Structure 1
Amino acid sequence: MVKQAQKALHLDASSVTPGPDGTDAVKKILGGVASIGVGAAEFRNRGYGTGHSQAQRAH
């Protein structure tokens, strides 16, 4: 979903050209942003969030 959002906002790391200084700094930053989104989703899915944790048994 992060990749789709970045593409919709025209902020996809794979489509960014080098910056005015000739480096790929912007590409690295956008890739890092995507990694944060993926990491947060993985963290939540491992049971540390309230929306996607393992089902709990009724007492």
Structure 2
Amino acid sequence: MHEKIKNLSELVDKLIELNFKVKTENKSLKGKITELEQKISNLVKENQLLVMDSKDKNE
């Protein structure tokens, strides 16, 4: 019985560790997504300005 409790305790410890790693990775990925969304937004704005500038030059 003592061995089963020890094994369960080890499994719980591993689960806690994995949960922490997943939460940390999730937070990191959310940060990267936010950063990429900002870059995309900036590129879209830049593209719109270039299109408008190109139209102005052609007129």
| TM-score, with structure 2 as normaliser | 0.48
| TM-score, with structure 1 as normaliser | 0.48
Q: Which has the higher contact order (CA 8 A, sep 6+)?
A: 1
More helix by share: 2
